[in-house]
Structure formats: structure tokens, C-alpha cells
Amino acid sequence: MDRYHQTQQLLERLESVMREAGIWESKSPGAAALASTEPFAIDTLSCSQWLQWIFIPRMKQLVAQKAALPAQFEISPYVEEAMKDQQGNMAVLAVTRELDHLFRAK
């Protein structure tokens, strides 16, 4: 299985665990919140919002275009800290750790 297919599967699983945890939102944050230039949009979005509205769509776009995927990638430390008290955090963290591992692999 190639990295694009693996990435797509992990993104689908991430969405699924977020839905199961009840942290998948039906309404998008405003355009200003999505336009943040801070890492992880930390100034305007929660971690789960960043995953849903920025990370997952951008990664899906890279996969669809067969564009270069990230290298030396690691989001789990942020997810672990930002979601430590949030419902579903362990399931989300398990998937982000798999993504981190995939993008660290040579």
C-alpha cells in the first residue's frame, strides 16, 4: 500500500473517531478563524477544529493531487497537550501518532 493510500485511510479514521467522540462539528468556523497564520491556528481554533477544518482538508487535497506529502511531520505532541481534557482524546491521539509515524518513515 502506498503512502497516499495509507494517508487517506488514516484521515478517514481520524474523522471517524472524531465523529464517534462527538467533536466533529457541523458548522464551519468563520473565515477569519480559518485564515489564522499561527501554527495549528492556535489563536482562533481549538485543536479539534484545526484537525477538522484545516488539517484533514489540506491533507486530503495533497493525497488527491498526489502532491508531495509532509516529511519530518509530527502533530501528536500538540494534539496530546491541546486535547488532554477533551472527550475522545486518546482515540484521536492514536490516529495522529500513526500519521506522525507514517511521515517520519523513510
Per domain, the residue ranges of the chain are: 3-104
Look up the pTM and report it: 0.93
Q: In a 10 Å sphere around its CB, with 0-12 CB exposed, 13-18 middle and 19+ buried, how is residue 88 labelled?
A: middle
Region 3-104: CATH code? 1.20.1440.40
* Residue pLDDT, tens place only, 69-95: 988 889 999 999 999 999 899 999 999
Q: Is the predicted pLDDT of residue 61 greater than 80, yes or no?
A: yes
Other beta carbons within 10 Å of 54: 17
Residue with C-alpha cell 488539517?
55
Instruction: Cell numbers for 101, please give them.
Output: 509515524
C-alpha 37: how far from chain center = 17
Contact 15, 63 (CB under 8 A): no
Q: Is the predicted pLDDT of residue 106 greater than 60, yes or no?
A: no
